[in-house]
Amino acid sequence: MMEDAIPLASSKTKVKCNFMQNITAVFWTADPNKSPDKDGYIGDRGSASSLSVLLHIVLILQNVQEKSPLPPGPTPWLFLGNLLQKDVIPLDKSYPKVRSVVGELSPCSQNYSLVHKYGPIFTIWMGLKPAVVLCGYEMVKNALVAHAEEFGGRPPLPILKRVMMGQGFIMQKDAKWRDLRKFTVSTLREFGMGKKTMSERVQEEVLCLVKDITAVIQGKTFDLQKSITNAVSNVMCSVVIGKRFDCQNQIIAGHLCIAEKLISLFQTYLGMVCCSFCVVNLKKTSCELTYNQEDIVMSVFGLFVAGSTTTSDALNFAIFVKARLPHIQAKVQEEINEAIGISCVPRMEDWARMPFTNAVVHEIHQYRKVNNENFACSTTCCTEFRGFAIPQDTVIIPHITSVHFDPLKWETPEEFNPAHFLDEKGQFKKKDAFMPFSAGKRACPGEALARMELFLFFSTLLQNFHFQLVGEATDMDLLSIYDSYRNKILKLPIQATKRLL
Ligand code: HEM
């Protein structure tokens, strides 16, 4: 009976069903210690039927995946989707080819790439939830800019929802998001964001950081991450609350700690699992159209959360770049000496006269790898895109790292190369494939402030200090040192010395 089942089946599904029966039979007869029952099967009926159910589910899921309107992608595991598949998640690790700064291929460079296998648009499964991943400049730009409305939603973010009680504009979509974002950004502008007064506040903060580092240098070590995070958060405090806080202040330290833990959890694998399996009640957030005081409070908290760790991470990475690439550090310092001198504090006006420093700051964004699986967008309606009918509320991950490593847009994407942003005369040139702040409707509203902070912190720190690697890190490549430091495998391997001005 079992043998002629397969040839008799005509459709693919039927073949699968009969194939299931064969598999089930094989498992039922697999245990040599059990004697055959009246149907001729050997074994424990209970476990065999569970196994059979399991295998049926696998095949049903496979079938569902084949018929899904979503782009194809790596086969998910039952319930977990692709979450435990190290060659899929996190995407920045599976995205190809990391070349060390000194030029040789690192061991992971031979990783197979999802893009090579499935093309620049594919689906991954975060547990039972599908997410469409967009890779490379053309694909990401086309979706976020040409289809801005359709890709401008935000999926439920369970961790943020819990902390922010579903309020504030990061969590919203549609009209409420638009109104709240407009209100928040215009109020911040009135408070000075993006204006000259803002750059003075940033300068004040950098000078405090310089003082702190100078004081600690005598003791030789300093907590780089903490000092930078405090400084960056204080910039936000001075914008939003109108005053800065001493880094010893317990209240602000408590708030920073919450924001930092929240973001750290958000970026980790554990955070991804939480977001994949938590069920979010959408009703309250999506149906209310007007905002209230709590929404405004949470929008401000959202600015802290979204603005502090992102900027301080970029600044931390910038210091690692300086220490790992002394020739770049020296060239920036030379430019600072010429354009600003040794006694004036760098200002935004200097930016235009410092093309190399400007290019290095841009390259820092370009070269850094970021995980944005947990801070994705979503479709606001059923969307026809690249031959797929993507249903409304599907999670969309515009893979920024893939844009910044797109070999069609960057001459040497795997090398830290400031020349990406310089023309043949050594002048700064913009690149359209530069999008660390994303693009379209959901693009980062803090871009102007973040750029200002990066330039002023970067140039003032290099005007005052010389950074160098110490210990085992001296033999490691840039991305490995930074990853090891962030994952607390390596203690801060950097020493700062005051420059003799
Ligand atoms: C180096 C620094 C920064 C980087 C790399 C960065 C990057 C990003 C990215 C990629 C997004 C996601 C856009 C999307 O969903 O497509 C975003 C959103 C956001 N960023 Fe930033 N950001 C930075 C600094 C800041 C700062 C300083 C602020 C606050 C002043 C800020 C506030 C926000 C907010 C509120 C959102 C959510 C926007 C929305 O949902 O409408 N960011 N950022």
Q: Which of 26-40, 80-94, 174-188, 224-238 has the lowest mean pLDDT?
A: 26-40
Tell me if 362 CB under 6 Å of ligand 1.
no
Three-state DSSP class for residue 378: strand
Atom of ligand 1 nearest to the CA of 239: 30
pLDDT at 34: 46
Cα torsion 473, 474, 475, 478: sign: positive
Q: Whose CA is nearest to atom 7 of ligand 1?
A: 437
pLDDT, one tens digit per residue, over 399-416 is: 998 899 888 899 888 889
Tokens 């002394």, located at residue: 326
Atom of ligand 1 nearest to the CA of 144: 16
Element (H, E) at 389: strand 388-390
Centre of ligand 1 from the C-alpha of residue 170, in Å: 9
Residues with Cβ within 8 Å of residue 150, at least 6 apart in sequence: 379, 380, 381, 383, 385
- Of 35-44, 80-89, 171-180, 215-224, where does mean pLDDT reach its minimum? 35-44
Q: Are strands 494-498 and 383-385 parallel, antiparallel or unpaired?
A: unpaired
pLDDT tens for 342-355 read 889 999 999 999 99
What's the gap in Å between 7 CA and the centre of ligand 1? 57
> Which is higher by pLDDT, 43 or 70?
70
30 or 412, higher pLDDT? 412
Cα(371) to ligand 1 centroid in Å equals 13
Overall average pLDDT of the 448-456 stretch:
92
User: Which of 47, 1, 52, 43 minimizes the C-alpha distance to 24?
Assistant: 52
Q: Output the residue whose Cα is nearest ligand 1's atom 13.
A: 443
Tell me the CA–centroid distance for residue 460 and ligand 1, in Å.
24
Q: Quote the ligand 1 centre to 388 CA distance (angstroms).
A: 29
User: Which pair of structure tokens corresponds to residue 263?
Assistant: 């973001």
Of the two residues 427 and 411, the one the predictor is more confident about is: 427
Q: What is the pLDDT of residue 342?
A: 82
Asked whether the predicted pLDDT for residue 392 surpasses 80, the reply is yes
Low-confidence winner among 77-81, 135-139, 174-178, 258-262 (lowest mean pLDDT): 258-262
Q: Which residue type is seen at 441?
A: K
Question: How far does residue 306's CA lie from ligand 1's centre (Å)?
Answer: 6
Percentage of the chain exceeding pLDDT 90: 31
Give the range among 63-67, 120-124, 445-449 with minimum mean pLDDT.
Answer: 63-67
List of residues 6+ apart from 385 with CB closer than 8 A: 121, 143, 147, 150
Give yes or no for residue 395 CB within 6 A of ligand 1.
Answer: no
Q: How many CB atoms lie within 10 A of CB 387?
A: 7
Please give the radius of gyration of the chain, using alpha carbons only, rounded to the nearest integer: 27
Whole-angstrom distance, CA of residue 15 vs CA of residue 347: 71
Residues 6+ apart with CB under 8 A from 377: 144, 151, 152, 153, 154, 155, 395, 396, 397, 398, 442
Is the CB of 312 within 6 Å of ligand 1? no
Q: Which residue has the higher pLDDT, 103 or 198?
A: 198
The protein residue with its alpha carbon nearest to ligand 1, atom 15, reads 442
C-beta of 445 in contact with ligand 1 (< 6 A):
yes
Query: Does ligand 1 lie within 6 Å of residue 446's CB atom?
Result: yes
At 91, the amino acid letter reads L
The highest-confidence range among 30-34, 81-85, 273-277, 298-302, by mean pLDDT, is: 81-85
Block residue for tokens 């004040």: 204
Per DSSP bridges, beta strands 129-134 and 395-398 are parallel
Residue 444 Cα to ligand 1 middle (Å): 4
Handedness of CA 241, 246, 247, 251 (dihedral sign): negative
**Which band of pLDDT confidence, cut at 50, 70 and 90, is reported for residue 98?**
very low
The pLDDT > 70 percentage for the chain reads: 71
Residue 19 pLDDT more than 90? no
Is 301's pLDDT higher than 90? no
Q: Are 130 and 394 in contact (CB under 8 A)?
A: yes
| Cβ(126)–Cβ(83) below 8 Å | yes
Helix/strand/coil (H/E/C) assignment for every residue in 105-141 = ECHHHHCCCHHHHHCCEEEEEECCEEEEEECCHHHHH
Residue 133, token pair as written in the block: 């991943």
Closest atom of ligand 1 to 172 CA is 40
C-alpha–C-alpha distance, residues 499 and 221, integer Å: 17
- Residue 158: pLDDT band by 50, 70, 90 thresholds? confident
Q: How far is the CA of 437 from the centre of ligand 1 (A)?
A: 6
Determine the distance from the C-alpha atom of residue 36 to the mean position of all C-alpha atoms in its chain, rounded to a whole number.
56
Dihedral, CA of residue 21, residue 22, residue 24 and residue 28, to nearest 10:
130
pLDDT for residue 276: 65
pLDDT for res 9: 31
| Closest ligand 1 atom to Cα of 365 | 5
* Cis peptide leading into residue 72 (ω within 30°): no
Contact indicator for 101, 477 with CB cutoff of 8 Å: yes
Residue 446 Cα distances to 62, 269, 314, 362, 450, angstroms:
42, 26, 14, 16, 6
Residue 12 neighbours by CB distance under 10 Å: 10
Higher pLDDT, 473 or 41: 473
Lowest mean per-residue pLDDT among 126-140, 339-353, 384-398, 464-478: 464-478
Whether the predicted pLDDT of 60 surpasses 80: no
Using CA atoms, how far apart are residues 202 and 196, in angstroms rounded to an integer?
10
Average pLDDT over residues 31-43: 44
Amino acid 49: pLDDT: 66
Instruction: Output the pTM of the full model.
Output: 0.80
Mutate which of 310, 434, 441 to test ligand 1's pocket (most atoms within 8 Å of Cβ)?
310
Q: For 168-177, 209-218, 267-276, which range has the lowest pLDDT when averaged over its residues?
A: 267-276
Do residues 95 and 402 lie in contact, with contact meaning Cβ atoms separated by under 8 Å? yes
Position 17 scores a pLDDT of 34
User: Which of 134, 206, 105, 216 shows the shortest CA–CA distance to 497?
Assistant: 216
CA-wise closest residue to 82 among 96, 97, 72: 72
Distance 337 CA to ligand 1 centre (A): 33
- Report helix, strand or coil for 41: coil
Instruction: Report the pLDDT value the prediction gives residue 249, as an integer from 0 to 100.
Output: 65
User: What tokens were used for 244?
Assistant: 């800065």
Looking at per-residue pLDDT, the higher value among 187 and 278 belongs to 187
How high is the ipTM of this complex? 0.98
Average pLDDT on 99-123 reads 57
Average pLDDT over residues 251-279: 67
Q: How far is the CA of 472 from the centre of ligand 1 (A)?
A: 34
Decide: residue 243, CB within 10 A, 0-12 exposed, 13-18 middle, 19+ buried. Answer: exposed
Confidence (pLDDT) at 44: 56
DSSP per position, 3-38: TTHHHH--SHHHHHHHHHHHHHHHHHT--TTSPB-T
Lowest mean pLDDT among 41-50, 230-239, 384-393, 422-431: 41-50
What's the mean pLDDT in 225-232? 82
The pLDDT assigned to 327 comes to: 96
Tell whether the model's pLDDT for residue 422 goes beyond 70: yes
Give the residue, 219 or 274, on which the prediction is more confident: 274
Average pLDDT over the chain, rounded to an integer: 77
Residue 14 has pLDDT above 60, yes or no: no
E strand or H helix that includes residue 258: helix 250-267
User: Rounded mean pLDDT of 194-219?
Assistant: 81
Q: Tell whether ligand 1 has an atom less than 6 A from the beta carbon of residue 302.
A: yes
pLDDT of residue 112: 43
With a 6 Å cutoff on the Cβ, whether 450 touches ligand 1 is: yes
Q: Predicted confidence band at 357 (pLDDT cuts at 50, 70, 90)?
A: very high
How many angstroms separate the Cα of 153 from the Cα of each of 25, 173, 305, 368, 390?
Answer: 48, 6, 19, 26, 13
Residue 263 CA, ligand 1 centroid: distance in Å: 13
Q: Residue range 204-231: average pLDDT?
A: 79
Which one has a higher pLDDT value, 290 or 181?
181
Label residues 346-362 b or e (16+ Cβ within 10 Å = b).
bbbebbeebbbbbbbbb
